[in-house]
Amino acid sequence: MNKDNNNQLSSTNIAYQQDVLDKFNERIKEIELFFDLIAKFEAVNPAQLIAVDDNIELITENDLLISTDNNVEMTVRNILSKLNIISPNIDLINIFKSNSVLLLYNLVESTVSNTDKFILQTITNANLLYSQATPKIKIFWIQHISKFNKNQYLDIAISLLDNIQRLQINIEKQVNDNEKEFQGNLDPKTVDELLDNYGIEVTKTQMMQQETERRAVKNIATWRSDLAHGKYSFAEFGRNKLRYNTSGNRDRENDILFLKSSCLLFLEFFLLNVETYIEQELYKQ
């Protein structure tokens, strides 16, 4: 998997690129546009940047001249009036900050969900016999077709099925079940469980080392739930919980720029190692 100068991810695996990474990259573009808008609001006199383009043609050469009857202040006020500049409402900025949490959560859930679908489809398309699958894939398949959850029943089922050499594995139908489990409840622990189901140990190990990124993604999931269920108003949450800091000394807990970068790093590790799992066919014995 490669990364270009625009933070877009690509893969030599055409199917993985088209099914997973293209969707991921499209959502990244949406987030970057949204964060660019927040940056404008956070700039000096932020709302001015929105109004100028629409009204610039109203400014004439005479408006720029300072006559004896019109001092500098009056000239500037006249220009600003014609540009229809309105000072920003601070709560609007806070609402935008809060919405960034929703966008980032959407990126996490959609990326993990799309990747999960791709893994399931890939394993199904491989036309694996039961005897060819890894122990993790065997357990995953048995649990979903039989709804066995207790170890004693799993052991019995595995013992019986191990004697059937031509049994074919098809786990594509689990897509809808997995999607329902994700909706609104996806955090790093959920991702760990998903990886463990498929036996993607290398990804899980690497992601466990991302303590800072994992904490940020966990906060995004928690805060998204708080906002979605009305625990806070968007203006209140943006005002009291979130920060926007372009300096190097960011508040790693609440700064939305740090949340964004942490979220992207978390997902890039996830996507990179799922690609390795698929490319090396690590779902096979």
State the pTM of this model. Answer: 0.76
Model pLDDT, residue 278: 93
For 225, the token pair is 């739930």
Distance CA 24, CA 19 (A): 9
How buried is residue 143: exposed, middle or buried, by Cβ count under 10 Å (0-12/13-18/19+)?
middle
Is the distance from CB of 112 to CB of 182 less than 8 angstroms? yes
Distance CA 92, CA 74 (A): 29
Amino acid at 152: Q
State the helix-helix crossing angle for 175-182 and 188-198, rounded to 10 degrees: 160
Spans of the chain, pLDDT less than 70: 5, 43-89, 145-182, 202-208, 246-252
Model pLDDT, residue 222: 94
Proportion of the chain above pLDDT 90, given as a percent:
35
Model pLDDT, residue 47: 46
Amino acid at 192: D
Distance CA 129, CA 151 (A): 23
Model pLDDT, residue 147: 57
Model pLDDT, residue 221: 95
Q: What's the pLDDT tens digit per position in 67-91? A: 555 566 566 666 666 665 555 567 8
Which residue shows structure tokens 């190097």?
A: 248
Q: What's the pLDDT tens digit per position in 192-216? A: 888 888 998 765 666 667 888 999 9
Rounded to 5°, angle at Cα 18 from 7 and 194: 85
